[in-house]
Amino acid sequence: MNEISFKVNGKSETVNVHPFSRLLDVLRNDLQLTGTKEGCGEGECGACSVFIDGVLTNSCLIPIAQVQNCEVETIEGVAEGEKIHKVQRAFIDMGGAQCGICTPGMIMATLNILRDQPHPNDDAIREGLAGNFCRCTGYTKIIDAVKKSIEEREDESISS
Ligand code: FES
Ligand code: FES
C-alpha cells in the first residue's frame, strides 16, 4: 500500500492504496465519487472519462500512482453546487442523457471538444465523441446536445 496525494475537483485528497489500483476504482470506492462509470474496463468505451491535468483520460487504464500530485476532474466537479453546467442542461433538454452509464463520459468528452475547439463542425463533434460508446439508442440526441452546447457558447464562455 502507498499513500497517493492528488487533487480531485479542486480538493486535496490522500488515499492509502495499492499503487496499481485503478484511478476509476479509487474515485468510486475510496472517494465515493460514483458519477464516473465503468463500462468496458478496457479503455474502449469512454464511460470512465475524467480529466487528468486537463487531458481527457480513461480512468480505468490509469494506475493511481500515476496521478500523484495531479489534478483530476470528474463529472462531480462539472456542476457548481446545485447549479448544473450548461452542457448537462443541454443533454437533458435534447434527450441526450439516456442510460446513465455513458452520459457522464459523454459530458466530459463534450467539455473536451468545447475546450479544445472554438467552432467544431459535425466531423469534429463525431471525432470528439469517437472514444465514447453508446450501446443503446444511437448518437443523434447526444450529438444534438453537443451542438446545443456549442451554440450556447457563442455568447459566453463555458469552457473554463
Ligand atoms: S470503462 Fe474505461 S474505457 Fe470503458
Ligand atoms: S445512452 Fe448510454 S449507452 Fe446509450
Same-domain pairing of 72 and 11: yes
Strand partners, 73: 51
The pLDDT tens digits of the residues spanning 105-133 come to 999 999 999 998 888 999 999 999 999 99
Give a yes or no: residue 160 inside a domain. no
CB 94 within 8 A of CB 144: yes
Same-domain pairing of 95 and 115: yes
Same-domain pairing of 16 and 69: yes
Return the pLDDT at 156: 61
Looking at the CA of 44, which ligand is closest? Answer: 1
CB 24 within 8 A of CB 60: yes
Going residue by residue through the chain, which has 160 residues, state the pLDDT in tens, using 9 for 90 and above.
Answer: 899 999 999 999 999 999 999 999 999 999 999 999 999 999 999 999 999 999 999 999 999 999 999 999 999 999 988 899 999 999 999 999 888 899 999 999 999 999 988 889 999 999 999 999 988 878 899 999 999 999 887 656 544 4
Same-domain pairing of 27 and 94: no
Query: Which set of grid coordinates corresponds to residue 29?
Result: 470506492
Last residue of a domain, one of 77, 98, 129: 77
Whole-angstrom Cα Rg for the chain: 15
Output the pTM of the full model.
Answer: 0.92
Q: How many domains does the chain have?
A: 2
CB 8 within 8 A of CB 72: yes
Pocket test for ligand 2, best of 40, 98, 108, 146 (most atoms within 8 A of CB): 98
Q: Is the CB of 137 under 6 A from ligand 2?
A: yes
Q: Is the CB of 140 under 6 A from ligand 2?
A: no
Same-domain pairing of 10 and 66: yes
Same-domain pairing of 101 and 143: yes
Domain hosting 141: range is: 86-153
Q: Is the CB of 134 under 6 A from ligand 2?
A: yes
Return the pLDDT at 158: 43
